[in-house]
Chains A and B, each alone.
Chain A
Amino acid sequence: MLCASAPPARRRHDVSPTGHATDVDLVQLLTPGGQLLAHPDYTPRIAHLDAAARRGLYRDMVLVRRFDNEATSLQRQGELGLWVQSLGQEAAQIGSGRALRPNDYVFPSYREHGVAHTRGVDLADILRLFRGVEHGGGWDPAEHNFHLYTLVIAAHTLHATGYAMGLQRDGLVGSGDPERDAAVVVYFGDGATSQGDLNESLVFAAVNNAPIVFFCQNNQWAISEPTTKQARIPLARRGDGFGIPNVRVDGNDVLATYAVTAQALERARSGGGPTFIEAFTYRMGAHTTSDDPTRYRSAAEDEYWRQRDPIERMRLLLEGAGELSPAFAAELEADATALAERVRATVKGLGRPPTGTMFDHVYGAPHAIVDSERAWLAEYEASFLDGAAAEGGSH
C-alpha cells in the first residue's frame, strides 16, 4: 500500500540539459531518490498496486534492460545488422504497457521493446528484424494486439488513429462494459511530432473523438537533433491546437507513466476521446548501434540522466519499503541471465531464409510477374548445382 504520509503534491519544473524550460506540470509520483509523492488525480490510480505488483513493474524493467544489453552485444559481435536500444526508457514503456488491458491495441514505432514485452511478444522475435531474416517483426500482431514495428517516422500514427475509429464504429467504445470497451495507444518519439502524418493524426483523432492515446516518448533526441530543433514549447502542448488534452509525465517514473496512461485509456474507452501524453525521458544509449552520440551530447548530460535512472529509483522505493528481498533479487538476476542466454541462442540459430521466401506474400493472390521471376531465380540457382545454363528471361 502507498504510505499516507507521502509529501504533498508538488509542481515540478524540471529542465533537462537539452530540454525546454517548462511551464507545464510534470506528473511525478516517485522521486529519483525513491520517495513517493502524492498527486490528487494520479495517486488513486496506483493505490491498488500492492508490493507484488510493484515488484512486477521492477522485474519487467530489469528483464527488458538485460535483453536490450544482450541485443547490443549481439550487434557488436556481428550477429545483428543493427540494434535500436530502449535503454533508459524502461519506465515509460513498462508503466504505459502495464496500464493496457488485453483488448487494447498498440501501434509501436521501433524502440518499444518494453511495451512488446508487456504484450507477451517474445523478445527474441524482435531480433528477427534486426538480424535481417524478416521484415516488420516475427510476431503475429493479432495474437498480441501489438502491431508491427514501423520504421518510417510517424506513418503508423495515422494507422493507429484509423484503427481507433474502427473500434468506435464497432461499438467498442463507451458501451459501459469495461470488458468490451477498448482503446488504442500509439508510440512515437519527439522527432516524430514534426511530421505531417502525426499532425494529421491529431486532426482526425480530435474531430472523430477517437479512442486513442498519443504516447510521445520525449527521449530528448532525434538522432543528433535535440527536441528544441522540433518545437519551441513543451511537446505536451502539441495537443492544444487540436483540442486534445495533454499530460506531461516524468517518463522515468514507472508509477506515474502507469497512472497517466491508465487514466487516458479509461477516458478513451469510455468515449472521452484522445489524449496526448508526453513522457519526459532520456535515451541513455546511442540512437542506434550505427550512431555516435559523442559527436553531439555531453558527458554532463549523461550524468544528469544517470541520476534519474528509472530502474534505480524503483529499486530504492522497494528497498525502502522492505519489499525487495535478497531471494527475489537473486531469482530475478537468474531469470534475466536465462532470458539473455535464450535470446542469444535463438538469434544465433536463425539461419539465412531460403531465397524463394523473397517472393512469398508480395501479393495475396498469384501475380504473373512475381511467379515468373521466382521460377527464373530457382532455375538460375539450380544451374550452379548441375552446371546447366539458365535459359531465357531477364534478371
Chain B
Amino acid sequence: MGTTERMTFSKAINAGLRRTLETDPKVILMGEDIGTLGGVFRVTDGLQKDFGADRVVDTPLAESGIVGTAIGLALRGYRPVLEIQFDGFIFPAFNQITTQLAKLSYRSRGRLSAPVVIRVPYGGAIGAIEHHSESPEVLFAHTAGLRVVSPASPADAFVMIQQAVASPDPVLFFEPKARYWDKGEVDVAITVTADAVASALADGVATDPAGVVALDRARVARAGTDLTIAAYGATVSTALKAAESAAAAGVSVEVVDLRSISPLDAETLIASVRRTGRCVVVHEAPVFYGTGGEIAARVTEACFYELEAPVLRVGGFHTPYPVNKLEATYLPGLDRILDAVDRAMAY
C-alpha cells in the first residue's frame, strides 16, 4: 500500500487492465481498434505492444460477434474483457448480452459461468454527435444476471476494473467518458485477485481482503449532515462540487458514490439518509423510469419516518440525447443539483 501515482482516469483503467493481463494469463482484451490504435479513447494504449495481438485483439466491426464469441471463450476458461467503442453501439450486442450472457449461470443451474467484462465509455459532455453520449445502464441493470458498475475516480477505476475482471459474473463496466481526462492519485500497489472478489461478494462484506471497497458496495465520497446526494460515474464529481457550493451557503451535503448500479448498495445509502433526512439522486440518464426511481422507492420505503423531504431526482429528460449545442441544458449540472438541494431543504 501507499505507492500512489497521479494519473488520468483513462490511464488508471489502462493500468488496471495491464495488471490483470500480467496476473491472469486467461485474460484477453477484445474490441474494435483497441490494438494498434489503443482504442479511440486510448484506454488500451500500449497493451497490444506489450502483450501481443493474441491477448489484445482487434476484432471485426461486429458487436454481436464480439460478445457472442467472448461467451464461447469464457466457456473455455478465458476471461474476455471487451470494449464497446461507444455507448450507442452496444445495441447490436444487446441480444447476446441480455438473452445469453446474463442467463448462462441461471440456465445451467450454476454449472456454467461467463465472467465476461464489457467496458462501455458512456455519458455526455464531450460535444459528440448522435449515439456517442448515451446512458443505457438502466437497460442492463433491469436485466437479471448482469452486474452493472461505474467508477467515479481514477483511484477507483484502477481497482474496479480489476474487481470486474476477477468477478465470477458478467460485468457491464460503464466508464464515464467525460472523466477520462481527469487526474487523481492512484494506489498502484493494489492487486485484486479473483479469490478476494469472490469471497467479498459471497460473504457480503464491504471491503475485500486487500482492504478495498467490494465491487458491489457504495462509498461515502464526502461526509455531511443535512442531505445525501446519491450519484455515480460522471455525476459524482459534479455532486462533490455542488456539495462545496452548498457548504458555502451553510448546507452540509453528504455524497454517496454508488459505484455499483446493480446490485445497489441500499445499506450504505439508507444509513446515510437516516443520518441526513434528505436525499437527491443525480444521474445523466433520463429520470423517467431511471435509476433514480428505483433509489427513491427504496429510500422512501426504508426511511419513511426519517425523511424530511421527498427524494428528488435530477437527470436527463425523456428525449433522445440532444444535439451537442443543447447538452449543457440536458445534463444535470451544478445549477439543477443545487436547485434540488434547495427544494429539499425548503420542505
Contact = CB atoms under 8 A, between A and B. Distances in A.
18 contacts: A81-B129, A135-B130, A135-B320, A136-B130, A152-B92, A196-B64, A196-B65, A222-B32, A223-B33, A224-B58, A225-B33, A229-B58, A358-B319, A359-B317, A362-B318, A370-B319, A373-B318, A395-B336
Interface stretch (A48-56, A95-103, A126-134): A126-134
Interface in A211-265: 222-225, 229-230
Interface in A272-297: 290-292, 295-296
A333 B317 CA distance: 47
Interface string A189-214: 00110111100000000000000000
Contacts of A389: 339, 342-343
B323 A394 contact: no
A153 interface: yes
Interface of B: 32-33, 35-38, 40, 58-62, 64-65, 88-89, 91-92, 127-132, 287-288, 292, 312-315, 317-320, 322-326, 329-330, 332, 336, 339-340, 342-343
A222 B323 CA distance: 25
Contact of B40 (A290, A380, A390): A290
Given A81-B128, A359-B319, A390-B339, A395 B33 contact: no
B129 A377 contact: no
Given A132-B129, A152-B92, A359-B319, 8 more contacts: A129-B129, A155-B92, A192-B61, A223-B33, A292-B37, A353-B325, A355-B329, A373-B318
A223 B292 CA distance: 37
Nearest to B329: A355
Contacts of B288: 369, 373
Interface string A127-156: 001111111100000000000000111010
B111 to A, nearest CB: 29
A367 B65 CA distance: 37
Interface of A: 81-82, 129-136, 151-153, 155, 191-192, 194-197, 222-225, 229-230, 290-292, 295-296, 352-353, 355, 357-359, 362, 367, 369-370, 373, 377, 380-381, 389-390, 394-395
A296 B37 contact: yes
B336 A197 contact: no
A14 B340 CA distance: 64
B314 A195 contact: no
A395 B130 contact: no
A133 B323 contact: yes
B175 to A, nearest CB: 17
A124 to B, nearest CB: 17
